[in-house]
Structure 1
Amino acid sequence: MRLRNVLVALAAATGLAAASLSISLAAVPPPQQGTLTKLNITGTYVSGISSGGYMANQLHVAYSGLFQGAGIFSAGPYDCAQNNVNTALLACMDTFQARKTPAQLEQLTRDRAAAGAVDAPQNLSGDPVWLFHGTADDTVDAAVNNDLATYYRDFGSRVVYNSTTAAGHAWISPIGPNACGSTASPYINKCSADVVGQMLGHLFGSVNAAASTLTGKLVQFDQNTYAPGGSASAITLGREGFAYVPKACETGPCKLVVALHGCQQTYGQIGNALLDKAYLNEYADTNGMVVLYPQATTSSANPRGCWDWWGYQSAQYAQKSGPQMTAVVNMVKALSNGGPAPTTTTTTTTTTTAPPSGCVTASNYAHTVAGRAYANLGQTYALGSNQALGLWNTYTTSTLRQTSTNYWVRC
């Protein structure tokens, strides 16, 4: 990647991928307000792209006793950035600066484990790890992604590494809106290979064909409940998070996959594009798999909505005590064993609310954040009635009223 592109390097997304088969579109259902409730989870895995790929690795390493495998797309090895944004940009995305070698980072991991800051790295031995880097991706240098493969192999993980797909820096999906080699919003590209199926097949051993029609539900939950101190915004997380729950998983055993977006891919930036087009829900319905979609957010220190993999939010970002790490693990525990208990801190939306019989006027973005509407491909729709509200942004306003639980109509 050229030096002039360095400042856009933190723009995120990268690739899982998808099929050359005939694909039927299976639109994600409108979100339903709810909470994360205990399910019969039999195995927990983490995936992520770009900044989400770095965060996925941090979670897998720090909580290797909890996560049983990882699918990581266009990211480097554990704590490559060393709590320094310049190192992140110039050594762990580009390679203009020297970076820690895999062997040095492996020793750092052992030292932190000895101090109790992360789980024992011996847990990584035998874990399935699926890595991806597109040949047209010049946002994260291939050499950095190669270091991640070395890091995992040295700890004995079962690594499969796809580095031959001609993909740009994007999530790769058979229903993606962008061309395979593109690096542009919403960072979801259509390529010829079903990389999502390849990834899940490696993590699980095998997978059934993806569904063409979704039958599960998309739960929109309050991330304040799971953030340390009860404030998601204080640790640069969005108010809303999402979980796709197939019908079979409401009563039967299922696996859990945490899917972490990249920079510029948050719900507040691209709406439900990633939730709808990632091609994870389609596999979830046919493979007994819940998909958890936590959400970071933007801030003055993090204008692109990245996950913290260089220390913008906390110097402990890559350790078990890292606030964002703790929040995601709290979400996982809520799904797998019913914890944690909801925080006693009550946090409400900053937009104006009204009683069910009243009308609420707000921007279409504010309506989606408050759970009165949802976004799909840049357009906004009232929750429940699905009435069209126009462009999804902070400038277009709509007036809605609630007629029943989770059902809003235009006034």
Structure 2
Amino acid sequence: MHVSTSGIRRVLTRATASAAVIALAAVLGAAVTAGPATAAPAASAAPAASGTLQQVSGFGSNPGNLTMYEYAPANLPAGAPLVVALHGCTQTASDYYADSGWQKYADLWGFAVVFPQTGTANNILSCFSWFDSGKDTRGQGEAASVASMVGHAESQYGSDTHRVFVTGLSAGGGLAADLLADYPDVFAGGAVDSGLPAQCATTQAAASGCQSASQNLTPAQWGAKARASDPGYGGPWPRVAIWQGTSDTTVAPVNATELRDQWTDVWGIGQTPSSTATLTGGTTQTIYNDGSGKPAVELYQVSGMGHGLAVDPGSGTAQCGTAGAYFLQSICSTYYTGLFWGLDAAGTGGGGTTPPGVPSGLTVGTVTSSSVGLSWGAVSGAGSYAVYRNGTKVGSTSGTSYTDTGLAAATRYTYTVTAVNQAGESAASAAVTATTASGSTPPPAQCFTGSNYSHVTAGRAHDVGGVAYANGSGQSMGLDNVFYSHTLEETSPGYYVLADSGCPAAVR
């Protein structure tokens, strides 16, 4: 890849610029050093954070040469959760603290946040080294430094060691995925925003390939990479949220599919969605439940969004962040990640409000052999709604509708909904029941028209040797690029057939 000196200078002058330069970092990488690590402004050493971002020195072993910053609300009680938030390339801990929204929810829901920071002494563009096996593996380099920070913060705040989470953007997202694989005994969950699968690359030379194209690995092969990061560990596994813009040209959207494949395989739950929902900002939420019906992996695909962290500036409970370079206005990903991890649980936030009222008007809409559509009335003061199937939570949404998918045909299900805000969760709504249609009657056809590349990145097809094949049917679609287009019909969850001559296809 050719990059001009003037181009590098323009990138480095953008204080909040993130990982659009991650590919450049993979080329220049750790082989280049350029002076001391960048320090975040307005931070000072202190034994404990108290409502401001503060630097911590002497946090323990630091083989990765990282700097530790932390934030916690004043008077945080013992037993609160702990979140680790990793910035993107050319950013600092201060940038991520100011723009990502994590400070807002630390105050609202009551938890501490650690903001690790790398700098130019490690990488000329201040990227975390997600691609370096000497720095991103258990007990080594940056991964070990972050683990030291977690241990220090747990001791300092009396944190609940069963509720420690890690999230990151771009290069920080790649390291977050590595940390989830390296330390599944430390992290209960994670979120990878515009990032890469765990151990996708183990050298700088391989990093660009991970960013730009499918690695053509099976879910089992991806899962094996994660499991090999901590050999002998048998669970429980972290719960993982994956965020990706469909128009990301820096980290190809196929990385989100590969992350989904990796962590559903680690959980042993397959790649068939348990439910889907449409959220604000053109976001599709796809949920993969564990054996008990609890979400284990959640995939959020933001239509039209490029490379960055999804934010939604505003004062609403479900709004957060500051829009700017690589903080892209669409939806508050931090809010939904916090919901997924359960950080909004009653009693953790204070907040000075009361739980919302009980939702009313729960109604069954469209029912097929594998899905049930639901809608209900809005509740004043609710930040989100939780949907329960047969008494088990199956998803969350900020809207007043939800489609539960991946169901068995000709089966009766019972649903309730609760309203949620920072003070807690309401009682359940009145229950409704729905019986899915018989499998002998095909559901209404659902068709998708687009380029082969868009089908692969959306999870409707897969790439083998540069050729796209429809998921399920395995029908060849031609070269995996934007110049070949087809219409695919989803005849059953995850099963697609060519329907160029019309939808539904002639043979179903």
Normalised to the residue count of structure 1, the TM-score between the two structures is: 0.41
Compare CA radii of gyration and give the structure with the larger one.
Answer: 2
Q: Indicate the structure whose relative CO is greater, using CA pairs within 8 Å and at least 6 residues apart.
A: 1
Normalised to the residue count of structure 2, the TM-score between the two structures is: 0.35
Structure number with higher helix proportion: 1
